[in-house]
Amino acid sequence: MKVGTSIRTQLYAFLTLTAVLCVSVVILSIVSTQEVIQSTHTFFDCNSSLSSFYTAIDEMDSAARDWVYSGSDADYQLYLQAAKTARSELDQIRANGDQELAWRIGLLENMMAYYEKPIYAYLEGEQNTYQTYNELLYRCGLIRNTATDYHNYLAEFMQKYAGAIQGRWQQKCVIQIAALLILILVGVAVSSFYSKSILRPIQTLTENARRVQRGEFHLEPIGQASAELAVMADAFAEMASHVEENIDVVKKNAQLEQMVLRQESERLTMQNLVTQAELRTLQAQINPHFLFNTLSMISKSAYLSHDTTTSELIDRLAEFLRYALDKSNTTSTLQEEINSIENYLFIQKKRFSGRLDFVVDVAEDLPTLQMPAIVLQPLVENAIKHGVGPLTEEAVISLKVRYRDGRARIQIEDNGVGMSAEQLEELQSCLKLGLGSSNGGNGTGIGLTNVYRRLRMYFGAELQFTIESEENCGTLITISLPVEE
């Protein structure tokens, strides 16, 4: 952000510039007015001087003729004084006029000199009184007869002088108009500058405040601004940055707290599972050797009675129970899980009397894979109970196991009633949240959610567990497990 001068300095500069322009316009107007007034004074002064000149000429002629007639020295002095006054008035006109008017004033001075020649001749005794008196009267008449012409000359001079003054007045009017236009342009430029350096930054600050109010902390740059607004913008940006940092800290703390609560929930769930497992272990400790010996005795009795089906059924039940009791709280291998599930399927097939068929397809190249015990049996039990149990026609449950690219893929599929989209979504949500579900089985006391949770805790993020189902089209559960070489 570019920091400009302060608002006070900008205002002082603007006011000073405006004052200078206004004073300049006023001075031009005063000068133009003074010229007009001066031209008017000049006209009146010249006209007054010309009238005074002819008055002085009359006084001069009257005094000169009286002096010639009477010979009085007082009249002679009056003559000299009037002649001096007349010449002074001519000098005044010459000082205010132009070159042409000065030339014409020179003609009047020549006429005055022509008027004085008889006086000098009279003083020298070259002329008598009568001759001098008549010549003075004649020559004074010549001067008087120029009055009209000279007033016309003066009018023409003043007309030309007024035209020149008018031309200068028009020029100064143009200058004044130009100065006013410059003042307007400067005002517009200064207003635009203030809009850029003051108003626009204020609008940007307002918009940034609205953004912070909406929770957006990526603020728009303020651009070039005055010193005061730059300080405000920097303080506001720093405040927004601190608020964003505080919000991030609060969010991180909330996430950590949520993680701690989730871990605590998982710990409590595990503790509950352990407690349930311990309870099942206590319930199973009803002298298992006595149970297995009894089942073995019954199997041998049936075999001796040539009832091989009953004998095999009891043997498989004994193996299944032995596996369930031995592995109820430990790990097992995938092959042991498959063997146990084959025993379980044999028993269930006899139970449903041909209404239920099983297909077991296990690859021969399966590596040894450690996994939690008793995870496949609850899934098959769910398929029997919730999938094909309600069917009246023959139902099929298949177990397919394959190994590829370092992973073992287990698929349990049935052709039962399946689930609706809502039921499937509910079941998947329960698996993610670790909650019990109405779709979980209870044949061994461990439901579908329990199986998923145990696999998740054992394999972590490497576990891939999917459920696909459509109503009246059956259900497919796919479990993909990593196999360590």
CATH number assigned to the domain comprising residue 436:
3.30.565.10
Say if 321 falls within a structural domain: no
Q: What is the pLDDT of residue 408?
A: 93
CA distances from 457 to 382, 409, 445, 482 (A): 21, 18, 19, 14
Q: Which domain holds residue 161?
A: 1-255
* Domain boundary pick from 255, 282, 297: 255
Question: According to the model, what pLDDT value does residue 282 have?
Answer: 43
Judged by DSSP in three states, 362 sits in strand
DSSP secondary structure of 155-192? HHHHHHHHHHHHHHHHHHHHHHHHHHHHHHHHHHHHHH
Residues 191 and 336 in one domain: no
Question: Which pLDDT belongs to residue 21?
Answer: 66
Query: Given 223, 255, 287, which residue is the final one in a domain?
Result: 255
Other beta carbons within 10 Å of 263: 10
The verdict on residue 411 lying in a domain is: yes
Cα Rg, the chain, nearest whole Å: 65
Among the three residues 234, 255, 276, which one is the final residue of a domain in this structure? 255
Q: Would residue 185 count as lying in a domain?
A: yes
Same domain, 251 and 338: no
CA distance 55 to 86: 8
SS3 354: coil
Output the CA–CA distances (angstroms, integers) from residue 294 to 227, 288, 444, in the order listed: 99, 10, 22
- Residue 466: predicted pLDDT: 93
**197 and 108 fall within a common domain:** yes
Look at residue 140 and tell me if it is in a domain: yes
Total tally of structural domains belonging to the chain:
2
Answer yes or no: are the C-beta atoms of 168 and 32 closer than 8 Å. yes
Mean pLDDT, each 10-residue run in order, the chain (485 residues): 59 70 68 60 77 90 88 89 90 82 86 88 85 89 87 80 71 77 78 66 76 73 65 70 76 82 74 58 49 62 68 76 70 89 85 80 89 89 76 81 92 88 87 60 55 89 92 90 84
DSSP letter at 368? P
- Residue 408 domain flag: yes
Give the pTM: 0.41
Instruction: Let me know whether 353 and 450 are in one domain.
Output: yes
Q: Could you tell me which of 200, 189, 246 has the C-alpha nearest to residue 14? A: 189
Supply the pLDDT for residue 444. 32
Pair 242, 368 in one domain? no
Sign of CA dihedral 454, 458, 460, 466: negative
